[in-house]
Every structure is written in C-alpha cells, then in structure tokens.
Amino acid sequence: MSHLFANYKRLPVSFLSGSGCWLKGNDGKDYLDFLSGIAVTSLGHSHPKMVEALTAQVEKLLHVSNLYEIPEQERAAELLVETCGNGHLDRVFFCNSGAEANECLLKLARKYAHSKGLPPQVLVTTNGFHGRTLATVSATGTPKYHEGFAPLVSGFSFVDYNDTEAALKALDECCAVLVEPIQGEGGVIPAEGEFLSALEQACKAQDKLFLLDEVQTGVGRTGHWLAAQHYGVQPHAVSLAKGLGSGMPVGAVLAKAELAELLGPGTHGTTFGGNPLACRAVTTVVETIGAEKLLDNAREMGEYLRKRLLALAGITEVRGVGLMLAAVTERPAGEIVEAAFQKGLLANAVRPQVIRFAPPLVVKEQEIEQAIDILGSVLTPARIS
C-alpha cells in the first residue's frame, strides 16, 4: 500500500536515469521523452552543464534566507533581465513554482488597483490555467478544477479566449488582465495576435496592467525567450517557471520597476524562493540556451515536428509555436498516448482529442523521426510518408 495521496493517476513505470531526450525505466525499457516533465526539462536530462553547476553549488551552499544578500540570485536576475526583459522588465522576484509566480502577479494587481483607485478585479479567460493554489485555481477558467473547492476567491472576470470584443468590454471593470499567450492545459491554443495586441493597447491607454502567464511558454519553449517576443507585445509583468530551472523547482516574476516597487519589505516573501541552488540552475539554463543556440533549435525542430505530425494519418490539426505543440486526433487522445507509452514514447492528452508534445529544447531531428515512427504505428497501420 502506498502512503502517498491518491491525487495523481500514475502510469506503471518509474525512471532510474536519463540522458538528453531519453529516460531509462525500471522495466528495462528506454523511453523517448516528448513531455519533458510537462515542459520542464528544457536542457534534457542530466545535461553536463547542469550536472557540473549543481554539483559545485551543492558542495558550496544550498540555502540561506532572503534576509541576506544572495549573489547567485543577483546573477540569475541580471541574466533574466538581459534575455527576457526586452528592455522594459527590469526587476525580478524569485519563488518556487508557476502557481507562486502567478500568485505574485495577482497580489501585484491588487496592490496596483488600490494604489490607483481601480476596481481590484482581474480579467482572465475561459479554458485558461494559472495554478492549483486557491487564488490561481479561482483564476483558472476550467470548471473541473473548481469542483469541491468553493467558495472560490473572488475578483475575477472571465471572457472567452481570443474574444477581443468581449475582453475589451470587460476590461472597463478591471484593473488588469492575466492571460496565457498560448493556453497549455487548455489544449495548446495560441492567442490571436489581434487579441493580445488589443489588450496591450487598451491596458496602456487605460493605465491598467497587461500581465502574461509565461509559466509554460517562457524560457525558450516557443523559440523565443518569451512568447511575448513572438507576438511583439510588451507586458507590464510576466510569470515564469517550468523550463526556468530545467528540473529544479523555481519560479520568477519579471516586472517593470515601478510595478515591482509596490511590493516593499514585508508585503510578500518566500522561504525557499531564490536560494543559491535554484538560482545556480536558472543561470546555467539561461547561459546554456544561449551558448547552444537552443532558441534556434526550438524554432527549427518545432517546424520539423509540426510537418512530420501533419503527415500522419489520424491527425487533423497541429497547433502551437516552437516546441510547444499539440496534435488534434481523430481517435481518443488517451488511447493513443497509452499505446505510444507502451512503445516507449512519452506525451500526454490535455483534452479528449488533443495530444501535447513538449520535447526538450535539445531535441534532434533523428529523435523526432523516432517519435513519428512510434506515433505512426499506433495511430493507424497505414501512414503517409
């Protein structure tokens, strides 16, 4: 009998080790990881730079309190501002997860509203996902995540994703908008450029906050440091996590200086966030993505994977950006994912007929071909080459 909570439906395998895009199972099989721990292991498994950096940091110092200066945190923040700041996000807050990063965004929005005399209401979207804490699940526009947790946190107005007219109308009664540039758990649905651009312009015209949840899209996943750069928009703040530490639990908020100043001493904090080990991971991830040109690889391999998926019978659509892709299937996605798992490919069904693919940013063409071979064999006996 397991002593763990039963809140996860786990597949019958555990992994003993990993290298690059591959995992070694306790069943003796090798698994091609096209899920990356749900878009987390951006550098793949056991990347030599991560092994070297984290081993050195463990031998030196794991944790000190944020009551003191942390040089590793300063260096990680500097790199994030240089790469993801886009010339206007110049302050960083480190935490432990994407949910915590989004909590910080929501607290910033409330602080901002009270400082400006605005209604403390945040505009969010149906089908969105922002986390599992009570506030972030309340901001999540998927009813199944709300079941059994009422009363939810108030202060959220919902509109349909990509409904520009409805969003602009609802914004009149809000202080901020929080939106994913690409809905991940919602089925890998990209925002329409007009939707994000209109929200950005309206927020800035009305002196309201344009906030992006880049927990899944950030740090190279879309072939850009931020998906905001893909769309050409400039948010007031963004949340990051998942691929930020390539497996180390770490989240961050990047914000404009005047917004960050709203959270002065005592207003917000974290015990573990930004400790030396986590920040050494962040620095290593950002430096390695740059040194190994993994943004280029994410764009190139993403387009290659899209093309090869579209060539498979039984797939009707492929959507997403870079290496954050989803295939819409004719058959139930869960059946296909289970059959692919049996043949050594890891992916997941995010909706009844949608399979999500988020391989490590280091993925190679040969590994994509191996994944396509497995998918082709389980989708249908006949496959278009």
Give start and end residues of each alpha helix (H) in 85-128: 98-116
d(CA 219, CA 79): 11
The neighbouring-strand residues paired with 345 are: 32
Inter-residue contact 129 to 180 (CB < 8 Å):
yes
Whether 208 contacts 175, CB under 8 Å? yes
- Backbone φ, ψ for residue 308 (5° rounding): -70, -35
Q: Is 213 a catalytic site residue?
A: yes
Q: Which of 195, 208, 213, 357 is catalytic?
A: 213
Catalytic annotation, pick one of 129, 210, 341, 357: 129
Q: Which residue has the tokens 């721990």?
A: 37
Active site residue 15: no
Is residue 169 among the annotated active site residues? no
Point out the catalytic residue in the list 33, 34, 210, 242.
242
Q: Are 162 and 128 contacting, i.e. CB atoms less than 8 angstroms apart?
A: no
Phi, psi for residue 187 in degrees, rounded to 5: 120, 20
For tokens 């949910």, name the residue.
99
d(CA 104, CA 98): 10
Q: Could you give the residue numbers annotated as active site?
A: 129, 213, 242
